[in-house]
A and B are shown apart, each in its own frame.
Chain A
Amino acid sequence: MSTLQLILLVIVAAITGMASVLDEAQFHRPIIACTLVGLVLGDIKTGIILGGTLEMLALGWMNVGAAMAPDAALASVISAILVIIGKQSIGAGIAVAVPIAAAGQVLTIFVRTITVFFQHLADKYAEKGNTRGIEMCHILGLSLQAIRVAIPAAIVGVLAGTDAVNAALAAIPQVITRGLQVSGGFIVVVGYAMVMNMMNSKSLLPFFFIGFLLAAFTNFNLIGFGAVGVIAAIFHIKSIANEGKVAVAGTGSIDDIDDSDLM
């Protein structure tokens, strides 16, 4: 890897680290992060394929409320470096991605705890009416998130492809990498389950089965599912709107009586 590539790699890693906390532009999602690492390291195609594979794995990883997702940013970046520079299989990439996602989660918990300190620093700046100071606290918090991915990426970037790392990865038996690749095909069910649990609505489950049956017995593509879904949503909203009307009509008549009493 050239020095320029290493610098670009660190920049990409920093962007994914920031995106992992911001959760806005989604640079931390595997499908984007692996593609960018692939672009920087000169093998975008492998990056895209690895990104697609890991994205399936991470489909349900989301930050809801105070709950935190496993860290897709660190997992994607490190795994892409090992697969592209270390010439490992996609299966080996999956093998390292999951434990690294857990490690990355620990790192971001650590950073989010340190940032409590900046929160109190911001209070002091607010006391003085110092807006620049509060902005600085914000940027420092964001920078720590960038660093927490950039430094591990730089280390792995330098070490990847060396004999020791290659030997360690080559020691993974083929049945394991093949098995991981096979599981990669259906591990996405965990993501679906997380999303469905979040919707948390037993009364809406029939719509899930409509989608399932359409897929099982027709050749609908995703646009088709979307269209049927919108129609189903319209019907569903109409039906709950009607429920509402009955209730409103009930209270309305009581209001009428009150009005006539006042007259």
Chain B
Amino acid sequence: MSEKKLNKSDIVKMFIRSNFLLGSFNFERMQAIGFCVTLIPALKKLYKGDELSAALKRHLEFFNTQPFMATPIMGITAAMEEQKANGADIDEGSISGVKIGLMGPLAGVGDPIFWGTLRPVLAALGAGLALTGSIIGPLIFFIGFNAIRLATNWYGMFYGYEKGTQLVADMGGNKLRYLTEGASVLGLLVIGGLVSKWTSINIPFVLSKYTQSDGKEVITTVQSVLDSLMPGLVPLLLTFLCMYLLKKRVNPLLIIFGLFAVGILGVACGILQ
């Protein structure tokens, strides 16, 4: 029996399919169909008949992780299936074990990096430009995010396949923790900046008004007092209030409605502008 080997085009096919991982997301087994569909090009090449059915079934098991971090898991799974198809002593349990064992830690890395840092930062940058009506805003967000995403999916798929089970050992090291913590530091620092710079609250409520000896009129508003203390103080306090409410499990949409109410009341009373 000749050795069954996956080639580059099989891995590329898997990469293309990995971009649709969440297509049939459901509440029972989440990304299971998507994971199975991604592996189909490899499984069809490696197995026939009953073996193929068994392979398809084991990849319809529960699966859920951060979508871009799924690709190294798909790569390593393909590598294990390849060894199994060539008679290596790998049972179904160990393949599932690797999948389940990796999806949690990798989601723990992917969530803060992609959803916590990359997307909000690029989106805030793009939205700031978009508010002026510039097409560069949406383009920066779209091209920037997708370039990094596709590179992650491509590299992740090949890296997972080439490293095989060795990847599981790599995950045990401190590398993942460094990556997560490093990304969190970068993300928090940029968000700190965004809180001050990219929020606009203006409280033009007049506190005092007098005319200087040279005839200039000096108007002191709530906002000018706050700005002389610490620019961005109100957004900072609001952010911490929201964090507190979210931790108390208040629905974010409810908080958004609450802030809308504040805005409307503020405009109605002339406090906000």
Residues of A within 8 A of B (CB): 18, 21-26, 29, 31-32, 35, 44-45, 48-49, 51-53, 55-57, 59-66, 70, 98, 101-102, 112-116, 118-119, 122-123, 125-129, 131, 134-135, 137-142, 145, 175-176, 178-199, 201, 204-205, 207-217, 220, 222, 225-226, 228-230, 232-234, 236-237, 240-241, 244
| A98 close to B260 (CB less than 8 A) | yes
| B116 close to A210 (CB less than 8 A) | no
Partner among A26, A35, A126, A207 whose Cβ is within 8 Å of the Cβ of B53:
A126
Partner among B57, B243, B267, B273 whose Cβ is within 8 Å of the Cβ of A196:
B243
| B112 close to A176 (CB less than 8 A) | no
B263 at the interface (CB under 8 A from A): yes
17 A-B residue pairings within 8 Å (CB atoms): A53-B131, A55-B123, A61-B252, A113-B26, A115-B25, A131-B40, A135-B40, A138-B23, A138-B37, A178-B267, A187-B263, A189-B195, A193-B240, A193-B246, A195-B115, A208-B191, A229-B190
| A21 close to B25 (CB less than 8 A) | yes
Residues of B within 8 A of A (CB): 19-30, 32-34, 36-37, 40, 43-44, 49-50, 52-53, 56-57, 60, 64, 67-68, 107, 111-112, 115-116, 119-121, 123-135, 137-138, 141-142, 145-146, 149, 174, 177-178, 181-202, 230-232, 234-236, 238-240, 242-243, 245-247, 252-253, 255-257, 259-260, 262-268, 272-273
Partner among B20, B50, B230, B260 whose Cβ is within 8 Å of the Cβ of A179:
B260
Q: List, in ascending order, chain A residues with CB within 8 A of B232's CB.
A: 212, 215-216
Known: A44-B135, A199-B112, A233-B186. 20 other contacts (CB 8 A): A18-B23, A21-B23, A22-B67, A49-B132, A55-B127, A61-B252, A98-B260, A122-B60, A134-B33, A135-B40, A138-B20, A185-B199, A195-B187, A196-B243, A204-B181, A210-B192, A216-B232, A220-B193, A222-B121, A233-B183
CA distance A24 to B147 in the complex (A): 11
Interface pairs A-B: 8 shortest CB-CB:
A211-B192, A183-B263, A52-B130, A141-B24, A179-B264, A193-B242, A115-B26, A142-B23
* Given A137-B33, A189-B235, A128:B184 Cβ within 8 A: no
* CB closest chain-B residue, reference A188: B199
* CB closest chain-B residue, reference A187: B259
Contacts between chains A and B (CB distance < 8 A), count: 365
CA distance A192 to B68 in the complex (A): 22
Q: List, in ascending order, chain A residues with CB within 8 A of B198's CB.
A: 56, 188
CA distance A178 to B49 in the complex (A): 66
CA distance A25 to B22 in the complex (A): 12
| B186 close to A182 (CB less than 8 A) | no
* Given A131-B44, A187-B260, A26:B27 Cβ within 8 A: no
Partner among B21, B125, B191, B263 whose Cβ is within 8 Å of the Cβ of A22:
B21
CA distance A60 to B256 in the complex (A): 11
| B64 close to A65 (CB less than 8 A) | yes
Q: What is the interface of chain B mostly: helix, strand, loop, or mixed?
A: helix
Distance in angstroms from A136 CB to nearest chain B CB is 10
| A241 close to B190 (CB less than 8 A) | no
CA distance A142 to B25 in the complex (A): 8
| B252 close to A180 (CB less than 8 A) | no
* Given A119-B26, A135-B40, A211-B190, A240:B34 Cβ within 8 A: no
Distance in angstroms from A77 CB to nearest chain B CB is 15
Distance in angstroms from A81 CB to nearest chain B CB is 18
Q: List, in ascending order, chain A residues with CB within 8 A of B259's CB.
A: 183, 186-187, 189-190
Distance in angstroms from B269 CB to nearest chain A CB is 10
CA distance A66 to B30 in the complex (A): 8
* Given A119-B26, A142-B20, A126:B56 Cβ within 8 A: yes
Q: List, in ascending order, chain A residues with CB within 8 A of B252's CB.
A: 60-61, 70, 190, 194
Q: List, in ascending order, chain A residues with CB within 8 A of B25's CB.
A: 21, 112, 115, 141
| B193 close to A237 (CB less than 8 A) | no
* Given A141-B33, A212-B195, A129:B49 Cβ within 8 A: yes
Q: List, in ascending order, chain B residues with CB within 8 A of A135's CB.
A: 37, 40
Partner among B53, B187, B243 whose Cβ is within 8 Å of the Cβ of A128:
B53
| B26 close to A244 (CB less than 8 A) | no
Q: List, in ascending order, chain B residues with CB within 8 A of A51's CB.
A: 127, 130, 137-138
Partner among B68, B134, B196, B265 whose Cβ is within 8 Å of the Cβ of A215:
B196
CA distance A114 to B26 in the complex (A): 8
* CB closest chain-A residue, reference B185: A233
| A207 close to B185 (CB less than 8 A) | yes
